[in-house]
């Protein structure tokens, strides 16, 4: 309690369970509201690229710095959400390993502004010396309608799932893709072996 009132909180996984609590390995259609993210853009497939690793580390550094500042100065707390990524490719069957560019991102509560995020990144930069922190920005993503599925295992093994989506599910439901591949990483890659990692694969769609 602060000043007699309950502290405002935000947990993206609890607030949007239908988007983040995917438990089935069957395709599911979801309505996606406009979402705000701390984001960093990059190019090329990730693999073990220094650019991608630095971007992920920068987002977590900025996120936790922002969380503590929000709690201290605004009496608003939030759970730092899972890492997510948009993967861009001209090939609808492409996995993340075949992407030509990407955006890594973490969902943000409504009260976070661009200025607050920039301040958090600048503060984190003084401690971490990660130049990717200079690239953090507040992005808005609007997917509207999407099809998603839970993938268990390395992201690079999801090729057959994309084939089933584009060759079977979308035509059967008279849908077409309407945006980049969106992955939500529910497992900590530092602690969970590849074969047990849980990732939500999401593709924005539109009616034919």
Residue 53 lies in a domain: yes
pLDDT at 5: 59
Residue 55 lies in a domain: yes
Work out how many domains the chain is built from and give that number.
1
DSSP 38: E
pLDDT at 16: 95
CATH number of the domain enclosing 181: 3.20.80.10
Give the largest CA-CA distance in the chain: 57
Residue 1 lies in a domain: no
Strand partners, 32: 144
Which stretches of the chain score pLDDT less than 70?
A: 1-6, 47-48
pLDDT at 1: 39
What own/partner pairs with CB < 8 Å and gap ≥ 24 does 28-33 have? 28/147, 28/148, 28/149, 29/145, 29/146, 29/147, 29/173, 29/205, 30/145, 30/146, 30/147, 30/148, 30/202, 31/144, 31/145, 32/142, 32/143, 32/144, 32/145, 32/146, 32/202, 32/204
Residue 170 lies in a domain: yes
Residue 147 lies in a domain: yes
pLDDT at 134: 97
Residue 3 lies in a domain: no
Average predicted confidence (pLDDT) for the chain: 92
Which residues span the domain enclosing 140? 8-207
């Amino acid at each position: 309690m602060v000043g007699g009132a309950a502290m405002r909180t935000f947990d993206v996984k609890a607030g949007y369970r239908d988007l983040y609590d995917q438990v089935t390995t069957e395709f599911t259609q979801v309505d996606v509201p406009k979402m705000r993210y701390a984001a960093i853009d990059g190019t090329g497939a990730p693999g073990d690229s220094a650019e991608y690793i630095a971007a992920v580390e920068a987002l977590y550094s900025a996120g936790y710095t922002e969380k503590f500042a929000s709690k201290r100065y605004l009496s608003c707390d939030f759970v730092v959400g899972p890492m997510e990524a948009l993967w861009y490719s001209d090939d609808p069957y492409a996995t993340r390993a075949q992407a030509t560019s990407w955006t890594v991102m973490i969902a943000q509560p409504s009260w976070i502004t661009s200025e607050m995020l920039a301040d958090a990144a600048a503060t984190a930069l003084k401690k971490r010396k990660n130049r990717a922190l200079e690239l953090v920005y507040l992005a808005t993503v609007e997917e509207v309608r999407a099809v998603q599925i839970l993938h268990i295992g390395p992201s690079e093994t999801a090729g057959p799932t994309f084939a089933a989506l584009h060759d079977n599910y979308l035509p059967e439901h008279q849908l077409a893709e309407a945006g980049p591949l969106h992955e939500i990483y529910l497992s900590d890659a530092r602690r969970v072996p590849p074969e047990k990692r849980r990732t939500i694969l999401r593709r924005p769609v539109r009616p034919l």
